Amino acid sequence: MSASVEKKIKALIVDDEAPARRSLKHRLGRSGCVDVIAEARDGREAVGKIRALAPDAVFLDIQMPGMSGFDVIRELRNEVLPSIIFVTALDEPAVRAFEANAIDYLLKPVKDDRLERALAKLRVQQSQRKRQAQRNKLLKVLSDLTGGPLERLSEAEEQGAESIQRKEPARLAIRDGGHTTWVKQEDIDWIDAAGDYMCVHAGGMTHIMRMTMKRLEAELDPDHLHRIHRSTIINVKRVKNMRSHINGEYFLTLDSGHTVKLSRSYRHKLRHLLP
């Protein structure tokens, strides 16, 4: 299906400030991938609309009178949640946002590049959820045909995936629920971190995985991938050019056109590239 006719993501905007709702609705409308189906002025109204409308995603303000954004998640904790992107005026709630399994958080006033990044994560998660739903349907059909329980079929699939991982050490396993995507490490362009979530950029796609940067770094092939910043890993073979910055730092431009910063504390890892 082409991008022009691809089904849009149904979104709910929750914010107690009307100007903030209007601004975000306008910007999401311009994105071309989101259809804002409703708005809510407070947490209680948000809970009702999430249950009634089943949106794909919710842009959820954290600081609201009465029921906060975190309270909304707590109220719905035993139900199937839509994708959550928190919107906040304070940077401190970031850790709690990710603990609540939000895919991202946006700091007010929301910058265009941060909104684009959040939407990229949202599209990835929606695609993964669609694949997971299709997988569950397939497992259900197989269970009906074979008479075996879903759990046993799922375990067999996991064992097969682990076997592939042992045979293909140069691949990165990106798991989302019961679904595993295998990405060749040599195809990875760069990886950036948002809390304990890693955004793996490869082949024009962004894959999201929950893992610490330290743990992920230990799984990567040092022939290709190196950490150059506390929140960035790059494929050194994708570096197109570089320019010096202040305090011994450098800006590296990748083949994709994306620019990343090499911090002074990681210079020794790329000393063979430096002048």
Q: Is residue 238 within 8 Å of residue 202, measured between CB atoms?
A: no
- Specify if 257 maps to a domain: yes
121 occurs within a structural domain: no
Instruction: Tell me the pLDDT tens digit for each residue of 104-119.
Output: 888 888 988 889 888 9
Residues 207 and 135 in one domain: no
20 and 98 housed in the same domain: yes
> Does residue 18 register a pLDDT over 90?
yes
23 and 77 inside one domain? yes
Say if residue 53's pLDDT is above 80.
yes
The CA distances from residue 257 to 3, 127, 193, 204, 253, in Å, are 22, 25, 19, 12, 6
Say yes or no: 41 and 74 in one domain. yes
Q: Which of 118, 140, 168 delimits the end of a domain?
A: 168
pTM score, whole prediction: 0.52
Q: Tell me: do 148 and 200 sit in the same domain.
A: no
| Residue-range definition of the domain harbouring residue 210 | 181-270
188 with 143, same domain: the answer is no
Residue 201 phi, psi (nearest 5): -100, 115
Tell me, yes or no, whether 147 and 187 share the same domain: no
Do 160 and 232 lie in a common domain? no
Residues 216 and 153 in one domain: no
Q: What is the pLDDT of residue 137?
A: 65
| Residue 55: CATH number of its domain | 3.40.50.2300
Question: Does residue 174 lie in a domain region?
Answer: no
Range with lowest mean pLDDT among 7-16, 36-45, 176-185, 230-239: 176-185
Query: Is 116 part of any domain?
Result: no
DSSP SS3 for 193:
strand
Are 136 and 49 part of one and the same domain? Answer: no
Q: Are residues 75 and 16 in the same domain?
A: yes
144 and 136 in contact (C-beta within 8 Å)? no
Same domain for 185 and 133, yes or no, is no
Least confident of 126-135, 176-185, 215-224, 225-234: 126-135
Q: What is the CATH number of the domain that holds 220?
A: 2.40.50.1020
Is the residue at 255 inside a domain?
Answer: yes
- Closest by alpha carbon to 184, among 203, 199, 198, 160? 203
Is 101 among the domain residues? yes
Whole-number Å distance between alpha carbons of 76 and 69: 11
Number of domains into which the chain is organized: 3
